[in-house]
Amino acid sequence: MNEELLRELVPAVIGVLVRRGADFASAEDAVQEALIRALETWPDDPPRDPKAWLVTAAWRRFLDATRADASRRGRELAVEIEPSAGPAPATDDTLRLYFLCAHPTLPPASAVALTLRAVGGLTTRQIATAYLVPEATMAQRISRAKRRISGVALDQPGDLGTVLRMLYLVFNEGYGGDVDLAAEAIRLTRQLVALTGEPEVAGLLALMLLHHARRASRTGPGGRLVPLAEQDRSRWDTGLIAEGVTVLQTALARDRLGEYQAQAAIAALHADASTAAETDWVQIVEWYDELLRLTGSPVVRLNRAVAVGEADGPRAGMAALAEVGPDLPRYAAVTAYLHERAGDLEQAAKLYAEAARAATSVPERDHLTREAARVRQLLRR
């Protein structure tokens, strides 16, 4: 049983049902039912045409549901397909489904959940487990999302930037339960690259690959956070790095720079350094300048200040930091790091402790608490 093939077929099958007259919510439910039946029957009786089988099974499920609801809705679809109807249509509505599931009217969490179900082919239970919420809660979230976009036609244009932000949200969730969300985001982004050919989509794929290559070295025993400078670079996945760099170079050659390409270029420069000391911080600052020009983001300004501190010294980094508001997350942690680099250990210890109190995750809080303790130890010497 090739479960990955099943999941790849999901958006195309939903698209067929929608084009035959099913509303999106009903089509998605029917396809999920067909997937369950496929998992039960395919191991013993695999179909010659998996897509046609799924279309037939899902359409029949939709017709059954429609007939059961006919007295309330006052209508019934009269179309039927036989199992011998032949290959399913070749029309691929996957890109339109990406746009629909990342519709601007949906909250980010709902867009992510709906995409993982309708485009990724994951079950509600898998998504709930990955996000550490009860299955009933996730089911309600998905149902609300489907109701909200029920009146949106599949052929309406969508915003690719919204889709990319949603995929990056999925990627940054990492791993939960039996679903590797980072790997799932990479799979879906590969698919989107093939569907669009857009350099910025390739830039996001490159960024994901380069970050994913460092995954094994990012945490230590007990989930302890390991900063980039302290990571064991021998554990980095050189195959993913090489692929990410190749994808990025191809995208940059199109001369249509976007924020994900710029971020990927920064990640590639980190990956290119065999030790932290060999990092080309001057080039990284230049890429942050490009990224700042593209986004104007305060977070980019904050990260740029760190890079300036590495390239030109901590005093230059603190001067760059003056352009960033102190209420920004990680501001205290970055300020602490620059003060430590400048030799002001007392202020650094105080700021690390302040940053730990403001941390939004347990691993980050623990890391910053350890940093504060380490600097206090240095003060006692």
Q: Once rounded to an integer, what is the mean pLDDT over residues 165-189? A: 84
Q: Once rounded to an integer, what is the mean pLDDT over residues 149-160? A: 76
Question: pLDDT tens for residues 169-178?
Answer: 889 887 656 6
Q: Token pair 């519709």 is at which residue?
A: 103
Question: pLDDT tens for residues 8-52?
Answer: 888 888 888 888 888 888 888 899 888 888 888 888 888 889 889
Q: Is 366 helix (H, G, I), strand (E, B) or coil?
A: helix
Which has more confidence, 307 or 4?
Answer: 307
Does 259 score more than 90 pLDDT? yes
The pLDDT value recorded for residue 177 is 60
| Helix ranges restricted to H, 180-330 | 181-196, 199-212, 238-252, 259-272, 281-295, 298-312, 314-321
Question: pLDDT tens for residues 71-110?
Answer: 444 433 344 433 434 444 444 577 888 888 888 888 888 9
* Residue 117 identity: R
The tally of CA atoms less than 13 A away on the side-chain side of residue 235 is 14
The pLDDT value recorded for residue 175 is 64
Q: Which two tokens stand for residue 377?
A: 């130890």
Q: Are residues 142 and 114 in contact, defined by beta-carbon separation less than 8 angstroms?
A: yes
| Range 27-58 burial, b when 16+ CB lie within 10 A, else e | bbbbbbbbbeebeeebeeeeeeebbbbbbbbb
Q: Using 50, 70 and 90 to split pLDDT, how confident is the model at 149? A: confident
Does 280 score more than 90 pLDDT? yes
- Please provide the average confidence, as pLDDT, over all residues in the chain: 88
Q: Mean pLDDT check: name the lowest of 167-181, 212-226, 303-317.
A: 167-181
**What count of other Cβ atoms lies within 10 Å of the Cβ of residue 195?**
15
**What count of other Cβ atoms lies within 10 Å of the Cβ of residue 353?**
18
Q: Supply the DSSP string of 217-255, one letter for each residue.
A: GSB-GGG-B--GGGS-GGGS-HHHHHHHHHHHHHHHTT-
Give CA–CA dist 262/113, Å, rounded: 28
Q: Are residues 251 and 200 in contact, defined by beta-carbon separation less than 8 angstroms?
A: yes
The pLDDT value recorded for residue 222 is 85
The pLDDT value recorded for residue 78 is 40
Which has more confidence, 289 or 91?
Answer: 289
The pLDDT value recorded for residue 70 is 52
Does 139 score more than 80 pLDDT? yes
The pLDDT value recorded for residue 317 is 97
The pLDDT value recorded for residue 1 is 55
